[in-house]
Homo-oligomer: A and B are copies of this chain.
Amino acid sequence: MARTLDDLAALSGVSRATVSRVINGGPVSEETRRRVLEVLERTGYRPNRAARTLASGRSGVVGVVMHIDPQHLFRDPYFAGLLTGMSNALAEKAVGMMLWLGDRTKDEILDQIQLRGLLDGVIVTAHWREDPLVDSLLDSSMPTVLIGHRRSHPEASYVDVDDVQAADTITTHLIEIGRRRIGHITGIPGSVAGADRLEGYKRAMARAKLPTEGLVVEGEFNRASGAAGAAQLIEAGVDAIFCANDATAAGALETIKAHGLRVPEDIALAGYDDLDFAAQLDPPLTTIRQGVQDQGAAAARTLFQLLEDPDGGPRRVLLPTELVIRRSTVGGVRRFD
């Protein structure tokens, strides 16, 4: 069984260099190529990746770090979409993916990632406003693409959606349908998405000269905190609630109904994410759609660019969002489902 390039070279009567050229698409005469390919085929030869990496300086593998509690990671379809998008984009270029999940500490992960000659670059989720792991990665020489945080670091390349703008848009939608006391149930404090969406909400409210005092309740991106938050906001006498994500909105919806109030007649409700279930709620939920798979794919492609032209400066990609209007805000009159 042929194991090395030298074996193949001997078998096909050319030099090792030529076999390498055939494999990697270098300039080789048609006839030689054919002969070598035949041997390649016949022997079922597989190149040794480590040797190739060592000689060429490229590994063809990128790291993906999802620095998030695994429980959360798998409950949230957001990460599934991200991973799927990346996985597809990487596979297109036959690039491998090494994955670090969850709750490992910063140093453990860093140690592994920074082993040189293993990874060409890394994609890392940056969902927390403070994350030492992300900072270290940016300071290292490892080409890095962030998902979700427009880090102020001058060298940071990232892929993100404009959460502030999207939250502004959906809040403005609530204002345009005539609501005045619009409450907001936030995401997890410390999360970038939570902070950005709150900011967008406040911006829209300020522009419309509407009050927000007593109308902002802290949530946790989940059903339970949505249910609890809605109770507080009902108390505060709101006529609309913008929730930091769909799960929160689902919880809020339960509470509103339990109070005998109608959506949207008494309280208009809006979420964020447009997960599958948002359209299944009763009434279907007005929300913001962000192409999660696209984000994953974009991150992969951004990393490719970074690797191809390392001196081209940081790459910054802002993906569009879409306001999806359903009956939880414009109920009864027009139907969007």
Chain A residues within CB distance 8 Å of chain B: 46-51, 53-54, 59, 61, 70-71, 73-74, 77, 79-80, 83-84, 87, 91, 94, 96-102, 104, 108, 111-112, 114-118
- Assess the A112–B94 pair: CB atoms within 8 A: yes
User: Quick one: given A46-B115, A48-B115, A51-B54, are A98 and B101 in contact (CB under 8 Å)?
Assistant: no
Known: A50-B118, A54-B54. A84 touches B61 (CB 8 A): no
Residues of B near A80 (CB, < 8 A) are 70-71, 73-74
Instruction: Tell me which residues across on chain B come within 8 A of A94, comparing CB atoms.
Output: 108, 111-112
- A101 neighbours in B (Cβ, 8 Å): 83-84, 87
Copies in the complex: 2
Q: Are A112 and B96 in contact (CB under 8 A)?
A: yes
Chain B residues within an 8 Å CB radius of A118 = 49-50, 61, 96
Report Cα–Cα, A54/B54, bound state, in Å: 8
Quick check: A49 and B84 within 8 Å, CB to CB?
no
**Which B residues are CB-close (under 8 A) to A115?**
46-49
Residue of B nearest to A64 (CB): B99
What are 15 of the A-B contact pairs (CB < 8 Å)?
A: A47-B116, A49-B118, A50-B54, A50-B59, A50-B116, A50-B117, A61-B98, A70-B80, A70-B84, A70-B87, A74-B79, A83-B101, A87-B99, A96-B98, A97-B98
Given A54-B48, A54-B50, A61-B98, verify A91-B117 contact (CB < 8 Å).
no
When chains A and B are docked, how far (Å) is the Cα of A265 from the Cα of B180?
Answer: 52
Q: Which 9 A/B pairs are nearest by Cβ-Cβ distance?
A: A74-B80, A50-B117, A50-B53, A49-B118, A48-B117, A49-B115, A50-B54, A70-B84, A99-B99
> Contact partner of A99 among B97, B104, B117, CB < 8 A?
B97
Inter-chain pairs besides A48-B115, A49-B117, A61-B118, 7 sampled, C-beta below 8 Å? A48-B54, A49-B116, A50-B118, A54-B54, A70-B80, A87-B99, A91-B104
Contacts of A46 in B (CB 8 A): 114-116
Contact of A98 among B48, B77, B99 (CB under 8 A): B99
Bound-state CA distance A74–B72 (Å) is: 12
**Chain B residues with CB under 8 A of A111:** 94
* Docked pose: A25 CA to B101 CA in angstroms: 29
In the complex the two chains form, what is the Cα distance from A59 to B49 in whole Å? Answer: 10
In the bound assembly, the distance between CA atoms of A48 and B117 in angstroms comes to 5
Kindly provide the distance from the CB of A108 to the nearest chain B CB, expressed in whole angstroms.
7
Shortest Cβ distance from A97 into B: residue? B99
Check A116–B48 contact: CB distance below 8 A: yes
Inter-chain contacts of A53 with B (CB < 8 A)? 50
Q: Chain B nearest CB: distance from A27 CB in Å? A: 24
